[in-house]
Amino acid sequence: MDEDLISKKDLLEQTGISYGQLYRWKRKNLIPEDWFIRKSTFTGQETFFPRERILERIKKIQAMKEKLSLDALAEMFAPGGGKRISKADILKWGIASDFVLNFYIEQTQAQEQAFPFEEVLAIFLLEKLLHGGEISLEEGKMLVGLLQDAEKSFATEGTNVWLIRKFGVSTCFLTKKAEDILFDREAKVIVSLDLMELSAELKGKWL
């Protein structure tokens, strides 16, 4: 099944933005090129967007554009980043607690005093899930292993992280640009997170 779409006309009406704003944000890379989907309709070619993702992205842009420049917002929504963040800043900016940071270091045997962006994103993910009580420490270890195996490839547009349980047994995996996933009805989805949205939230800690 195709992802739920919204037409450009309905998007502009629902969000109150103009045609010019939409395409300016596209030129500034605040909205990905591949979210502009051309489809044939009875009136000709029309542009559609993935409904949930575009509405969430525009909501964030509208909330933050008074505080941040469009260039800063583009950096926030861009995949990955060359920034390295020290242990002290991870704690100071509220990215993770001392417990979660030390848990990550213990699992990865990291020796660095500063972490690349992708590792900080993994730490931030652990913080949200462990402190939210959504996963156990054993499941946290499994997630760390998955993200290490994926290396930098997980911090890209359209990537989701999943954790499911069935009869008390957990597994986790990454999907890229997945439209619909059908699970066994006895499996419970514990975690389903868009890593680019999480990345934007993380960058908001210092931008």
> Are residue 51 and residue 108 in the same domain, yes or no?
no
The per-residue pLDDT for 19 is 93
The per-residue pLDDT for 139 is 96
The per-residue DSSP string of 59-96 comes to: HHHHHHTTTS-HHHHHHHHSSS-S-EEEHHHHHHTTSS
**Looking at the whole model, is its pTM more than 0.85?**
no
> Are residue 69 and residue 98 in the same domain, yes or no?
no
Domain final residue, candidates 60, 77, 94: 77
The range of the structural domain enclosing residue 31 comes to: 5-77
Domain final residue, candidates 53, 77, 101: 77
Q: What total of structural domains would you count in the chain?
A: 2
> Are residue 99 and residue 173 in the same domain, yes or no?
yes
Mean pLDDT of the chain: 87
The per-residue pLDDT for 1 is 38
> Are residue 89 and residue 170 in the same domain, yes or no?
yes
For residues 144 and 20, what is the distance between their CA atoms, to the nearest angstrom?
Answer: 42
> Are residue 47 and residue 142 in the same domain, yes or no?
no
Per-residue pLDDT of the chain (207 residues), as tens digits, is: 356 899 999 999 999 999 999 999 999 888 988 889 998 888 788 999 998 889 988 998 998 888 888 888 887 777 665 678 899 999 999 999 999 999 999 999 887 788 888 899 999 999 999 988 999 999 999 999 998 888 666 666 678 899 999 999 999 998 886 666 788 889 999 998 888 888 888 887 875
